[in-house]
Chain A
């Protein structure tokens, strides 16, 4: 029973390239949350998705960032035209339902923009 799987673990992109981060939730979990951890800062909420729906994207930058959670396959966080300030650890967490059911976190993707 695998936990939350994130890949890649480490991703290096040049400025202007696209970054695609993947998250496969725990089996039976249909709620996915993405969080960003900037260097020397705390974790910040980015987006909350259920299958085929974005529920809350209030923490996502308005430009260049998008997220999806298709009916089949992993959730994808996409960053277009990356800049140095996008360098961070991106964590995904999943839960079986909304509200007080606990979260399981992935190991994160460390994005470095050079």
Chain B
């Protein structure tokens, strides 16, 4: 069974700051997902990674398969980035996704 740990659990930052959210997992995977959830809202898939790095706008996701670790970065953060960011892994013997508990991000103007 895969254990997915995210840090930090909560993060408050000022607008414009560079944000990093970390995710580590215990068992080999076939892919890692970063998801975004706004309060009371649905879940949006941001990235699916199996190696290397991906970039979309101000968001960057990296993964190190050997170290079983991934990071999500937000450049030039904005209050609209305030949300819960969830790391989820796929594979490792399980169907569907195994999730971290999420990082609650608040960007203050």
Using CB atoms and an 8 Å cutoff, list the residues of chain A in contact with chain B.
33, 35, 41-45, 48, 55-56, 58-59, 91, 93, 98-100, 102-108, 110
Contact = CB atoms under 8 A, between A and B. Distances in A.
Interface in B64-103: 86, 88, 90-91, 94-102
A104 B42 CA distance: 11
Contacts, number: 61
B41 to A, nearest CB: 7
A105 B101 contact: no
B42 A102 contact: no
Given A42-B102, A100-B30, A110-B40, 13 more contacts: A33-B96, A42-B99, A45-B98, A55-B95, A91-B43, A99-B91, A100-B50, A100-B91, A103-B33, A105-B35, A106-B42, A107-B42, A108-B42
Contact of A104 (B40, B45, B95): B45
A110 B50 CA distance: 32
A91 B91 CA distance: 20
B45 A102 contact: yes
In terms of DSSP, what is the predominant structure of the interface of chain B? strand
Contacts of A48: 95-96
Contact of A105 (B31, B45, B102): B45
B44 interface: yes
B53 to A, nearest CB: 17
8 closest Cβ pairs, A-B complex: A107-B42, A105-B43, A56-B95, A42-B101, A45-B96, A43-B99, A48-B95, A33-B96
Nearest to B101: A42
Nearest to B42: A107
Given A91-B43, A100-B48, A107-B42, A45 B101 contact: no
